[in-house]
Amino acid sequence: MHRDMTEHFKTAIKGDNKIILDNYFPKDGLYIKIDREKPISQIDENRYMIIDTDDEIAPEKLDLYNWLKERDYCSQILNTNKAIDLPAKKILSANYLSYFIQKDRLPSIGKNPLDIGELKRLTENYYERLKNAESYFEDLLPSDIKFKPEKKEEEMENFLQAYYSEEVAYIRNDERRQDIEECKEYMLDNMEDIINTIKLIDDKSKVKGYIKIFFEEDIEKYRKESRVYLIPRIYNVKEYNILVNDEILGLPISDITTNEKKPYLLLKTMKCLVPIRDTVENVKATKNFYEWMLNSIKNEKDVFKLGYNYAFDGGKPYDGDKPYYIVNMAMSQSSKNYEIVDFDNIPSPLPEIRFKLENTLRVPLYDPEQKVYLKDKYEEDRTITNLSSIQYLVSQYYFNGEMKGYFKNIEPDIKSNKFTHEMKILFMESRDAFFDYFHKGIDTNIKKIIDKITLSSIDEQLKSTVEGTRLMNMRRAYNLRLSFLKYFKIEGGKDMASRLEDVISKIEKKINFKEMVYCNSDEEFYFLAGQLAYYLISTSEASKKHFGMFEPFLLARNSNQLKRRLEETFETYSHNISIGYIKFKNAMSMVMGYQTETKITDEMKGFLIAGILSNNLLYSKQEGDNNEDGK
């Protein structure tokens, strides 16, 4: 996985190393530039800036920001377990040219401050460890290389010169040791003045996050110090370092946690105990790629896709017509670093689709200026050609807008009258199948559940989240459901729309007859029962104020229960219905006189709900039932 994705990245950064920095963004905090030859009073508005990742950088601060940006990048620790300041983990910078600490740990300023004496002690230890950086390179010695006791010093020197001669020569340089000493003395001698200056800035501007101090030095020194920090710490644990073809390979720190406290993560049944080993340069490239990808994922509101041959040139990572990777990252609770938590290799582009969304229930057209639904004008059928548009509709109509972003790994919160416990269960049951369809073009699993999920969601919303008779979105949801059944050619469902249209046509004629009429099928009975339920509820003065007014009808298990609930509702609202209204009298007699043993499940539940949601045939053309306000 790592090699697949990073190969083109490594090629790109060889040609342009700015790719890494262009995609790096410093964290929230106060950033200070210091000349160690001058007193603390040098700190004025030209030598510090407050970075808030929610705000744009002020134009007058751009030069300072650019100066700080790469130095900040070169001074980052990999994670707190790889800090210089162990085991305290309070000073969080990676070299002697910088000094990072959380604002909340500063004496006299933070919410959880350190004692000034303790901070000075930690500071002194921090710089002393930086002087002793060579010992960390010694730890890179592969575990399978053993030195004779009498030649250990000589052979260790040979090892260091063979593999890390440039870094070791730099570490041993007297100038470096002198620089470390001067930076240490400056920080210790001026600690109180630095804290007072930071307090003045914080009182004025309310700093959040980190305090980061940078000594004024050439960027090349920062880069060298970055290598001195990274190389011996970029592997997970030294025990798994090996020598292969004269190269040292180790277990990368990214995405892999293996140590003596977690032996169950080792591959005990294989000859190799760990899943991957790589060179320092390759692991560094992977680390840089992760940082680039993390920022890209944060900026991507949808699922992050990376094309196989993406050139890392600032364009969109995926253009939609080639094979791609799907990647999701999340913060590790142990390391507090972002790691890959889900990955898919999609060897073919998303398929082209022609999904016809038909307005079977004849949802009327909405006039946004008059804020009313128009009589005798209906939403047009339309053809959808991309899966992202279908995802939006599914999310809006069935899951209260929760199916967005990388929804495969989320668990939405329950919201009263908006997103119920049952809706959450439906979401969890279907999210993998929907994800496969929307982002991989795989419809195998969604075909198996689309009938149940869509009907159950509409049923649950009618029972719990719909306010009164404001049903337009539920009508659209039912239209989308019927279109899915037809598009996927679901058995028993692909002709549902035509059967429903036939039922509506027959009932429309029957309820206008002046002689005795009957239901001739279960479909007619349940559809007409739904029509009656809607009509009776709509006559109530409270019909637009309460949630779940259709719940009693939808909870009925059989035809007898359903008829009883219609009778009870009629008794409640009969004073609002004209005694000579022939349409209502025909409909009521047709339903009450029909006998069926068919339970209200699956297909018949679908016809009952369709009756509730369809334009109500019991209204006169002058009355209409399209009095909703855009819902």
Distance, in Å, from the CA atom of 94 to the CA atom of 320, rounded to the nearest integer, reads: 41
Closest CA to 522 of 458, 462, 467, 602: 602
**Whether 190 and 333 share a structural domain:** no
pLDDT at 166 over 60: yes
Q: What is the pLDDT of residues 216-251, one digit of tens each?
A: 999 999 999 999 999 999 888 777 888 888 888 888
265 assigned to some structural domain = no
**Whether 514 and 490 share a structural domain:** yes
Distance, in Å, from the CA atom of 362 to the CA atom of 364, rounded to the nearest integer, reads: 6
Query: Is the bond into 87 cis (omega within 30 degrees of 0)?
Result: yes
- Asked whether 195 and 135 are in contact (CB, 8 A), the reply is no
**What percentage of the chain has pLDDT greater than the value 70?**
93
pTM over 0.95: no
- Asked whether 79 and 85 are in contact (CB, 8 A), the reply is no
Closest CA to 521 of 535, 533, 510, 532: 510
pLDDT of residue 542: 61
pLDDT at 459 over 80: yes
Q: What is the pLDDT of residues 518-565, one digit of tens each?
A: 999 999 999 999 999 999 998 876 655 677 889 999 999 999 999 999
Q: What is the pLDDT of residues 77-126, one digit of tens each?
A: 988 889 999 999 999 999 999 999 999 999 999 999 999 999 999 999 99
Distance, in Å, from the CA atom of 621 to the CA atom of 618, rounded to the nearest integer, reads: 9
Structure tokens at 211: 């305090």
**Whether 445 and 299 share a structural domain:** no
**Whether 580 and 449 share a structural domain:** yes
Q: Name 204's Cβ contacts closer than 8 Å, sequence gap at least 6.
A: none
449: left (phi over 0), alpha (psi -120 to 50) or beta: alpha
Task: Read off the pLDDT band of 343 (50, 70, 90).
Answer: confident
CA 99 → CA 44, 102, 192, 222, 229, distances in Å? 18, 10, 15, 13, 14
Domain residues for 541?
355-613
Backbone angles phi, psi at 355, to 5 degrees: -95, 115
Distance, in Å, from the CA atom of 281 to the CA atom of 181, rounded to the nearest integer, reads: 30
576: left (phi over 0), alpha (psi -120 to 50) or beta: alpha
Which is more confident, 319 or 594? 594
The least confident of 143-147, 397-401, 562-566 is 143-147
Q: What is the 3-state secondary structure (H, E, C) of 191-224?
A: HHHHHHHHHHHHHHHCCCCEEEEEECCCHHHHHH
106 assigned to some structural domain = yes
Instruction: Decide: helix, strand or coil at residue 559.
Output: helix
Distance, in Å, from the CA atom of 58 to the CA atom of 444, rounded to the nearest integer, reads: 52
**Whether 108 and 42 share a structural domain:** yes
**Whether 326 and 429 share a structural domain:** no
5 assigned to some structural domain = no
pLDDT of residue 1: 64
Backbone angles phi, psi at 50, to 5 degrees: -105, 125
Structure tokens at 573: 């609202």
- Asked whether 61 and 95 are in contact (CB, 8 A), the reply is no
**Whether 417 and 530 share a structural domain:** yes
The least confident of 3-7, 51-55, 137-141, 142-146 is 3-7
243 assigned to some structural domain = no
Q: What is the mean pLDDT of residues 161-166?
A: 93
Q: 307 forms bridges with which residues in the sheet? A: 324
1 assigned to some structural domain = no
**Whether 425 and 320 share a structural domain:** no
Q: What is the pLDDT of residues 558-588, one digit of tens each?
A: 999 999 999 999 999 888 888 888 999 999 9
Q: Name 392's Cβ contacts closer than 8 Å, sequence gap at least 6.
A: none
Residue with structure tokens 């692909």?
Answer: 494
303 assigned to some structural domain = yes
609 assigned to some structural domain = yes
**Whether 421 and 449 share a structural domain:** yes
- Asked whether 456 and 478 are in contact (CB, 8 A), the reply is no
Distance, in Å, from the CA atom of 457 to the CA atom of 477, rounded to the nearest integer, reads: 9
Q: What is the mean pLDDT of residues 157-178?
A: 94
Residue with structure tokens 């009589």?
Answer: 375
215 assigned to some structural domain = yes
- Asked whether 454 and 490 are in contact (CB, 8 A), the reply is no
**Whether 371 and 406 share a structural domain:** yes
Specify the DSSP element, H or E, that contains 118. Answer: helix 116-131
- Asked whether 102 and 210 are in contact (CB, 8 A), the reply is yes
- Asked whether 329 and 302 are in contact (CB, 8 A), the reply is no
Backbone angles phi, psi at 625, to 5 degrees: -130, 25
The least confident of 27-41, 323-337, 430-444 is 323-337
- Asked whether 406 and 385 are in contact (CB, 8 A), the reply is no
Distance, in Å, from the CA atom of 241 to the CA atom of 253, rounded to the nearest integer, reads: 12
Length, in residues, of the chain: 631
pLDDT of residue 621: 57
Q: State CA 25 to chain mean position distance.
A: 20
DSSP readout, 360-396? TT-PEEEETTTTEEEEEEEPPPEEE--HHHHHHHHHH
Residue with structure tokens 């090996």?
Answer: 242
Q: What is the pLDDT of residues 370-391, one digit of tens each?
A: 888 888 899 999 999 999 999 9
**Whether 504 and 595 share a structural domain:** yes
Structure tokens at 435: 């994800």
Closest CA to 363 of 472, 225, 250: 472
pLDDT of residue 335: 61
Task: Read off the pLDDT band of 630 (50, 70, 90).
Answer: very low
CA 200 → CA 194, 344, 363, distances in Å? 10, 50, 63
The least confident of 332-336, 359-363, 410-414, 610-614 is 332-336
Task: Read off the pLDDT band of 627 (50, 70, 90).
Answer: very low
Q: Which residues of 553-579 are buried (b: 16+ CB within 10 A; e: fewer)?
A: bbebeebeebbebbeebbeebeeebee
pLDDT of residue 631: 41
Specify the DSSP element, H or E, that contains 343. Answer: strand 338-346
Query: Domain count of the chain?
Result: 3
Q: What is the mean pLDDT of residues 404-428?
A: 93
**Whether 556 and 452 share a structural domain:** yes
